[in-house]
Structure formats: C-alpha cells, structure tokens
Structure 1
Amino acid sequence: MSKGDRRTPPPEPEPLPAPVVDAHTHLDACGASNAAEVHRMVDRAEAAGIGRVVTVADDLDSARWTVEAAGWDERVYSAVALHPTRAKDFGETERKTLRELVRDPRVVAVGETGLDYYWDFSPPEPQQEAFRWHIGLAKETGKPLMIHDRDAHEDIVRILEEEGAPETVIFHCFSGDAEFARRCVEAGYVLSFAGTATFRNANARGLREAAASVPAGQMLVETDAPFLAPHPFRGRPNEPYCVNYTVRDLAELRGESVEELAVAVSTTAERVFQLDRVVGS
C-alpha cells in the first residue's frame, strides 16, 4: 500500500441489513470539533448502517467535549473517564469533574479506564489507583465500566475481583485469546471487538478465535476510531462507518449471517448501555 493509500479513508460500504452501534469511538480525534462536523460524521455512519455511536473521552477536555457532542446529535452518546496512560495526573480536580460529567443523562458509561502496561506514560501504581476509583464510580452511578486493557489482563481481572465488579463490565477493543475470553464470559463481562479482530497476521490468530467463540449476548463491535481500521484497510484513517466492515468480517468468521450478527450486537448494545432510558434517544 502506498503512502497515498494510507491517507485515504476506506470506501463507504453498502449499508448493513440491520443497524448497529459503534460501541467505542473518538469523534474528536477523528477530526470533528463542532456540531456540523459531528452531524456529517454520524450521517456517514448511519448511511452504512451504523445508527448510533458512543464517543469516548481520554482526558478532561475530551470528557467535556464528548458530553457536549452527545447533546448536539441524538445518535451520539458519551463515555467519560481519565485514560490510564494519564493516570499520573489523576487528582482531586479530575475526580470532581468526572463525578459531575458522569451524571449527564447522555453519558452511558464510565470509560475508558483500566491499565496500560505497553506505554510508560504512567507508572502501574497510579494507574491501579485510578482504575479502582473508576470502578467505584461505575458502581455508584449504575453505569457500565468500559475497560482499556493493554498487556494487563491479570491485573485487570484481579482488581475487578478485589473491588467487586460493577454490574456491567465492557472490555473495549478486546485483546485476549480464546481462553481469556472464556474467563471473561464466565465472569459475565461483555467483550467489544474492534478492527484488530479482522486482522490476518499471525498475532491476531488468538483474538480471532476469541471473537468466534464469544456468545452474541456478550459481544459488542466498535471502531476505536480514528485508530485500527479493519481489514483490508489496516493503517488507513478510521471512522464509525467502518464498523460495517468489522461486522461483515466477524459474521463470516462466526458462521452467521450479517443480519444475524448485526441484530445480536445491536440488542446487546441496547441492553448494556440502557439506551432506551437515555433522554432524547
């Protein structure tokens, strides 16, 4: 693929036979900064069968923006937290702000929080402390906990067990193998699969086995846009409409029709995020 191709977004696909939810995206990082740009981005998604999106924060400015964006368009919902790579800066100001923002009726999850041992922006100790605090916030508000887990499977599970997991736990951009998926499913957790689950390299084999094995009632799909564009567009700019490609690929992997999987993950998203209770939906 040439450099020019890598800057070109994937083509807009034929719409899915049933609408789905992009369970985790970053509209601001995709380039949307105002209401008109959010509308255009979500219009593109809806034309591909992605009727609603959850736009997710990674710092306080982003958290404020996601809540504002969710008020601009009824197809947009918000999740707020401080990303684990920023946990060294997690203090009273962050706690107070997030407590205020999470009360907004269009905030449907506490996230993304968790642990990231791949990058060294924050030491493990403040990450774990912040993760424990976010677990408490999710339980306090009754909203799902959206987890970022990178190279930290065992500590994530251990801390969830020690703190007592919230009623709903979502592993965003699930990155484990089939055995770790089995453990998460048995614990009642929900696994959200991004474009990485469509990759064809050897490192993705275990992840694809996991995606093939998870019950549809505990499965979501996402873009994590602007990152992780699905196969065969790996490396290109990503947007919520590209969930379409992920759904089609995973349906084939699982031996299901595209419509069956689309309906299943949409039903799961409705339940997990309690979308029927969100004002303006």
Structure 2
Amino acid sequence: MTQPTIVDSHCHLDFDSLSDELPEVIARAQAAGVTRMVTICTKLRTASQVQTIAEAHAPVFWAAGTHPMSVLDEPMATLDELTSLAKHPKFVGIGETGLDYHYTADSAPAQQDSLRLHIEAARKTNLPLIIHSRDADEDMARILTEEHRAGAYNCVMHCFSSGAALAEAALDLGFYLSMSGIAAFPKSGALRDIFAAAPRDRLLLETDSPYLAPPPHRGKRNEPAFTALTGQIVAEAFGMGYAELAAQTSTNFDRLFWKAVPGQKAA
C-alpha cells in the first residue's frame, strides 16, 4: 500500500535543535510521507538564513514576518521589506505575525500595528497571512474582521489553540485553522471538537517544530516527520481514515499556499 503524503505547513528549521542535523531531519520527514515543509522566519534579520535553507532543500519552502513577541526587540517591518522578500520563488506566506498577550501584553499596541502591516503585505502579494494568536481572542477577531472588510486577504490561524469564538470568526472570513501536536494531546478533546466542527476543506496540519511534539514524543524535540503522528491521532478522533485526512489537508494546503504547488510560478 502506498504511504499517504502530507504537508508540514509550519516549522522552524533554522532553530538550532533542528538546523544542526538538517539533512537527517528532512530525510526522516520524507520517510514519514511529509513531502513539503514551510519553514518560518520569525525575525526579518534572519530571513537570509531561512531563505538559504529553502534554496538548499527541494521539499522546503519559507515564509517570513515579525513574531508578535519580538515586536519591541526588532525593527518594525515595512511593506517594502515584506513585498521584496515575497518575490523569491520559494517564499510562500507572510508571517508569522499576530498577537500574543500571554507574556507580552505590554506591547499590545505595537503588536497590533505590526499585525495590520503584515495584513497589508498579504493583500499586496496575494500570499496567505500566517497568524499566531495567544490570549488575545477578542482583539484578534476584531482586527482580522476589520481588515478583511477593508480589503480581502487569506489567512491561516497557525497552531490554533484558542476558543470556539475565534475559530468561528476566522472560518466566517474564509480562513483556515491549523492543527499542531496540541490537537493530539489526550486532554485536548475540546480543541479537537472545534476542529471536528470546522469544514474539512479549511484544516491544515503542522508541527511548529521544534516545539509541541505529539504523543509519544511529547516533551521532547518535535520535527516535521511527526506531522504524520498528529494526523493519525486527529483522523481517528474525527472517525476518518488517516489517508483521507492526509489527502484533504494536502489539498487545502495547495489551495492556500499556492506558490508551494509543484510547477507553480509566482504571479
């Protein structure tokens, strides 16, 4: 039987715990059926390092933005900067950006300014916005909705672990929810219910590696190969076959991350 193929829509291959053995990490991913990976740059000053990884490895694509927890420590991104990066043939998304009030609520105004700038870059480039949201559900839903009314754009709620209200707001805008290893944790039943209630054509899989490894690796380093483990657990919870979930999430990925489709040329 042919092994199902899947996509890790969000990982951090430039982080030390993965970059130190990158060829082996990518080989293990491919052996697990993970045919494509999007590695995310969270600080624009490191964009060249992430770009180099994507250029050196055929299965790897990249995206870049300023993580909300870093907005006070990094220069504010500019529209020209983001749109210039987007010209690279393997650059497939804007972000991650967003709001994080868990540890960095003091920088909320700057985070909101940064988020709106990244949204404008997503509009200009027609590339999907990659959103990080933690403990900021009301502001996130409000800003995403306000900005969408001002001009359409597409978006994925990366590593979604927020409440049902934010999920509904995002889905109402036509956005996508991405399932990380958190969705596979035994006590994440309420989160799995949110995903199960979402349209199947609006779900993605990711690792957010090196963080959030699914069982049986929880608490250890995560890596793209483990996308398959999360997919298997989530598929069982949904009452569907893993091959079906893998195919559906891969189709969804192709629709959203259109520049990562084999043979696709930049617009």
* 1:30 CA drift (Å): 5.3
Instruction: Name which of structure 1's ranges 174-183 and 62-71 shifts more when overlaid on structure 2.
Output: 174-183
The one-letter code sitting in structure 1 at the alignment partner of 2:66 is L
Structure 2 partner of 1:176:
162
Aligned residue for 1:235, secondary structure, equals coil
* 1:216 CA drift (Å): 1.8
Aligned residue for 2:204, secondary structure, equals strand
> For residues 251-266 of structure 1, what are the structure 2 equivalents within 5 Å?
251-266=235-250
Instruction: Name which of structure 1's ranges 263-272 and 63-72 shifts more when overlaid on structure 2.
Output: 63-72
**Counterpart among 22, 43, 49 of residue 59 in structure 1:** 43
Distance in 2 (CA, whole Å) between partners of 1:279 and 1:209 is 37
Alpha-carbon displacement from aligned partner over 1:164-188 (angstroms, at most 9, x marks no partner): 2643110000012344423322221
The one-letter code sitting in structure 1 at the alignment partner of 2:139 is D
**Counterpart among 196, 217, 233 of residue 249 in structure 1:** 233
* 1:207 CA drift (Å): 0.9
Distance in 2 (CA, whole Å) between partners of 1:226 and 1:189 is 25
Q: 1:71 to 1:278 in 2, by over 3 A?
A: farther
| Contact 1:16/1:48, CA 8 A, preserved across alignment | no
Any gaps of 5 or more consecutive residues in structure 1? 1-14
Counting aligned pairs with the same residue, the percent is 37
How many residues are matched? 262
| Contact 2:160/2:180, CA 8 A, preserved across alignment | yes
Aligned residue for 2:130, secondary structure, equals strand
Structure 2 partner of 1:214:
198
* 1:245 CA drift (Å): 0.4
Alpha-carbon displacement from aligned partner over 1:84-110 (angstroms, at most 9, x marks no partner): 011124546765543322221211000
Q: 1:106 to 1:84 in 2, by over 3 A?
A: same
Aligned residue for 2:142, secondary structure, equals helix
Distance in 2 (CA, whole Å) between partners of 1:229 and 1:47 is 18
Q: TM-score, normalised by structure 2?
A: 0.90
Structure 1 partner of 2:179:
193
| Contact 2:18/2:210, CA 8 A, preserved across alignment | no
Instruction: Name which of structure 1's ranges 125-134 and 83-92 shifts more when overlaid on structure 2.
Output: 83-92
Aligned residue for 2:119, secondary structure, equals helix
| Contact 1:220/1:269, CA 8 A, preserved across alignment | yes
Distance in 2 (CA, whole Å) between partners of 1:143 and 1:208 is 27
* 1:278 CA drift (Å): 4.1
| Contact 1:225/1:239, CA 8 A, preserved across alignment | yes
Structure 2 partner of 1:41:
25
Structure 1 partner of 2:65:
81
Q: 1:193 to 1:92 in 2, by over 3 A?
A: closer
Q: 1:180 to 1:45 in 2, by over 3 A?
A: same
The one-letter code sitting in structure 1 at the alignment partner of 2:215 is H
The one-letter code sitting in structure 1 at the alignment partner of 2:113 is E
The one-letter code sitting in structure 2 at the alignment partner of 1:199 is F
